[in-house]
């Protein structure tokens, strides 16, 4: 579904040196996979997401989505940024409909479609509200409803729940997994999700595959077969604790891995 072939990227630093953020990355993400990307700040996670989105093209190599080389943004890929994921000058329902309106989907059809997704994230009753009237967690739900309603097959989520409190994050994990696992989709396929996070527990809760990045390289590719939803108790079971330790070690945090048991 998403293929990275010899993807390379570096940026100039103020001192004239260059920081390598993608160091010959080769990877294949299968259709329908929920992949979390973790790694230290500045290792290249956002850059990789932007490259898949077509917002920033790699200097070397290429990325293919469904076999087609990425050369620009497109409706097959939807992105949710950490901040500013909702247009403040549009009512909630208009935000959710926006991508469909851009593709000239008739008004009645796109309203029904958008309302179904707002309903799925429990926000049907605020469809006519302005974003400024909603809480941070509600705005994230709007952003998730929007990216699903737009129909993109690849969803790129860049620390979407970063600034939220624990309870809201946990609720949003459930909302996201419910949408992803198709319970609200009419016969559709699972979307392919790339989800950037700093939070190992979030990755262990959500992903069926975790990629650990460091200095522009994928240093660990871990599969998680445990059934979802995964509760806090599940995260404390031996196999997920072991997975956490492995991830911590690949992040260079062996000391924390020792404390976690």
- Residue 233 in the binding site for ligand ATP (CB under 6 A): no
- Residue 104 in the binding site for ligand ATP (CB under 6 A): no
Closer residue to ligand ATP in complex, CB, 41/233: 41
Closer residue to ligand ATP in complex, CB, 42/75: 42
- Residue 57 in the binding site for ligand ATP (CB under 6 A): no
- Residue 78 in the binding site for ligand ATP (CB under 6 A): no
What is the C-alpha to C-alpha distance for residues 19 and 149, in angstroms, rounded to an integer?
37
Alpha-carbon dihedral angle through residues 143, 148, 153, 157, given to the nearest 10 degrees: 30
- Residue 88 in the binding site for ligand ATP (CB under 6 A): no
Helices marked H in the chain? 45-53, 92-102, 107-120, 136-149, 166-180, 200-206, 232-235, 238-250, 254-259
- Residue 46 in the binding site for ligand ATP (CB under 6 A): yes
DSSP code for 126: G
- Residue 134 in the binding site for ligand ATP (CB under 6 A): no
- Residue 250 in the binding site for ligand ATP (CB under 6 A): no
In angstroms, how far is the first alpha carbon of the chain from the final one?
A: 37
What is the C-alpha to C-alpha distance for residues 98 and 29, in angstroms, rounded to an integer?
28
DSSP code for 70: P
Closer residue to ligand ATP in complex, CB, 126/218: 218
- Residue 27 in the binding site for ligand ATP (CB under 6 A): no
- Which residues are at the interface with ligand ATP (CB under 6 A)? 11, 19, 21, 39, 41-47
């Amino acid at each position: 579904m998403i293929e990275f072939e010899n993807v390379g990227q570096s940026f100039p630093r103020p001192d004239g040196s260059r920081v390598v953020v993608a160091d010959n990355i080769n990877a294949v993400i299968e259709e329908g996979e929920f992949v979390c990307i973790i790694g230290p700040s500045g290792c290249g996670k956002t850059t990789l997401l932007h490259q898949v989105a077509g917002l920033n093209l790699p200097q070397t190599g290429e990325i293919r989505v469904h076999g087609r080389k990425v050369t620009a943004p497109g409706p097959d890929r939807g992105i949710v940024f950490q901040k500013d994921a909702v247009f403040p000058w549009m009512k909630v329902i208009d935000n959710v409909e926006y991508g469909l309106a851009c593709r000239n989907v008739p008004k009645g059809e796109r309203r029904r479609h958008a309302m179904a997704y707002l309903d799925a994230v429990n926000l049907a009753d605020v469809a006519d509200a302005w974003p400024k009237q909603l809480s941070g967690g509600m705005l994230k739900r709007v952003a998730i409803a929007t990216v699903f309603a737009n129909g993109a097959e690849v969803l790129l989520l860049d620390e979407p729940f970063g600034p939220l409190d624990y309870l809201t994050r946990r609720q949003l994990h459930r909302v996201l997994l419910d949408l992803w696992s198709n319970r609200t989709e009419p016969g559709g396929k699972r979307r392919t999700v790339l989800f950037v996070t700093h939070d190992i527990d979030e990755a262990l809760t959500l992903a069926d595959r975790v990629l650990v990045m460091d200095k522009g390289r994928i240093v660990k590719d871990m599969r998680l077969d445990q059934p979802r939803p995964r509760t806090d108790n599940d995260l404390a079971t031996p196999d997920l604790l072991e997975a956490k330790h492995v991830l911590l070690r690949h992040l260079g945090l062996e000391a924390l891995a020792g404390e976690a048991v």
